[in-house]
């Protein structure tokens, strides 16, 4: 496992507010959320992205800038400081008690979807 914070979270050495886990993926609440429910979905197998820099983006709903109502993912190269996706990132701080409550709610909702 790569020696990153996410590797330590996957191995259980650093806690997280887990919302989903299977043998391939761990999903947990971002500790500095941009909005309530901001979740990170992390493959357990460490992946090397190489030298290419890029963003993967999926917009859902008009307020989130979705224009075409057919699910699609943008792969947007970031070859330099000017081109590519410009992201505003007004991060907050995840309150531990609120995080525990929220992760429980999301886990329960995911179980419901699975049935
Ligand atoms: P990125 O900048 O795309 O690599 O995103 C990394 C994200 O990981 C950021 O949004 C951080 O807030 C989040 N993050 C860093 N450490 C932790 C942690 N211990 N638990 C949860 N989220 C974290």
Across the range 25-52, mean pLDDT stands at: 85
- What b-and-e string marks burial along 63-91, b requiring 16 or more CB atoms within 10 Å of the CB? eeeeeeeeeeeeeeeeeeeeeeeeeeeee
Query: Residues with beta carbon inside 6 Å of ligand 1?
Result: 5, 14, 16, 30-32, 40
Atom 8 of ligand 1: nearest residue by CA position = 30
**Which of 11, 28, 40 most suits a substitution to test ligand 1, by most atoms within 8 Å of the C-beta?**
40
Q: How far is the CA of 40 from the centre of ligand 1 (A)?
A: 8
Contact between residue 19 and residue 106 where contact means Cβ atoms under 8 Å apart: yes
SS3 content of the chain, % helix, strand, coil (to 5): 25, 20, 55
Least confident range of 19-23, 26-30, 43-47:
43-47
For 89-109, the pLDDT digits (tens) are 999 999 999 999 999 999 999
Q: How far is the CA of 7 from the centre of ligand 1 (A)?
A: 12
The verdict on whether 74 is a catalytic residue reads: no
What's the confidence (pLDDT) of residue 68?
Answer: 84
Q: Which of 19-28, 31-40, 69-78, 81-90 has the highest mean pLDDT?
A: 19-28
What's the confidence (pLDDT) of residue 69?
Answer: 82
What's the confidence (pLDDT) of residue 24?
Answer: 93
On the 0-12 / 13-18 / 19+ scale of CB atoms within 10 A, 33 is: buried
Per-residue pLDDT at 75 exceeds 80 = no
Q: Which of 38, 70, 72, 112 is catalytic?
A: 72
Across the range 4-31, mean pLDDT stands at: 94
Q: Which atom of ligand 1 approaches the CA of 9 most closely?
A: 19
**What torsion, rounded to 10 degrees, do the Cα atoms 53, 87, 106, 104 define?**
90
């Amino acid at each position: 496992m790569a020696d990153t914070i996410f590797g330590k979270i996957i191995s259980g050495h650093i806690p997280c507010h887990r919302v989903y886990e299977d043998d391939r993926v761990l999903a947990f609440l971002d500790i500095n959320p941009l909005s309530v429910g901001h979740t990170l979905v992390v493959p357990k197998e460490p992946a090397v992205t190489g030298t290419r820099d890029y963003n993967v983006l999926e917009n859902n709903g008009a307020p989130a800038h979705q224009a075409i109502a057919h699910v699609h993912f943008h792969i947007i190269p970031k070859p330099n400081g000017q081109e590519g996706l410009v992201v505003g990132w007004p991060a907050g701080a995840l309150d531990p008690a609120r995080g525990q409550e929220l992760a429980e709610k999301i886990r329960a909702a995911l179980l419901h979807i699975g049935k």
